[in-house]
Amino acid sequence: MLPDHRNWFTEASTETGIGFSLHTKEKLHSEQTPYQTIDIYATETFGNLMVIDGFVMLSTRDNFLYHEMMSHPVIFSHPHPRKVVIIGGGDCGTLQEVLKHPAIQQVTQIDIDERVTRLSELYFPELCQANHDPRAKLLFADGIQWMQQADAGSVDIIIVDSTDPIGPAEGLFQQPFYQECLRVLASDGILVQQSESPLLHLESIIQPMHHAMSSAGFATVRTLHFPQPVYPSGWWSATLAYRNAKVDFRELDAQNKGFDTRYYDAAMHHCAFVLPPFMK
């Protein structure tokens, strides 16, 4: 029997010629904010699903892959992380992972659309349990403008947990933004940014990102990769830019991290940075 397509959400891309579908039970919410359209669905097998402007943002079932890999590799790569800035990240899953690290003293999250956070508190409450941590500061503003106004050398780690490089997020993928990040980072600072699919976006996003980060003045740029079923191709990446050439990994700390993760550990840290030949 053919499926009833009225009960499926599908994200289809004419650019890549692929699509991804989830069987839905009902639409829980839909609204147009000043910045974007946000839809929330209940699905049959992936829990709740957030969609922004027709693109899947996260699901209950697999968001831990993204949030863990956007936070723990970069934190355990920094010699003494204390102050973190998250650009985007309105669902607060990355914020929650960052705050699992007791050494972190302050996390400032800047997302332009407050409704993403408020809807996450309603439909993904398990991701928002750290929102009232005294170390967390939630701002709803333009991340690019915030970075331009931030003090030089004031941040240890910048995490760019953004949507795709279109619309409000487009400027987050360009060299002027990386130059501001470099200025704001302290001497051992690291920037990490989600960099889309290695299979679909190597030439269009990942390679230009490496070039733009290096041109902005970062000494070392590395990409890691991980599975992500709800994103195009099911394979995702994050790219780290280091202010200094030296690349560290506090492996013993990662082995004895003292908190639970479902995907990330010290062995996975090593594996994630091993690139297939076509990516080198």
Pick the catalytic residue from 62, 161, 164, 188: 161
d(CA 228, CA 65): 7
The answer to whether 248 is a known catalytic residue is: no
Distances (CA, A) of 234 to 53, 71, 94, 206, 240: 19, 19, 19, 16, 20
Active-site amino acid positions: 161
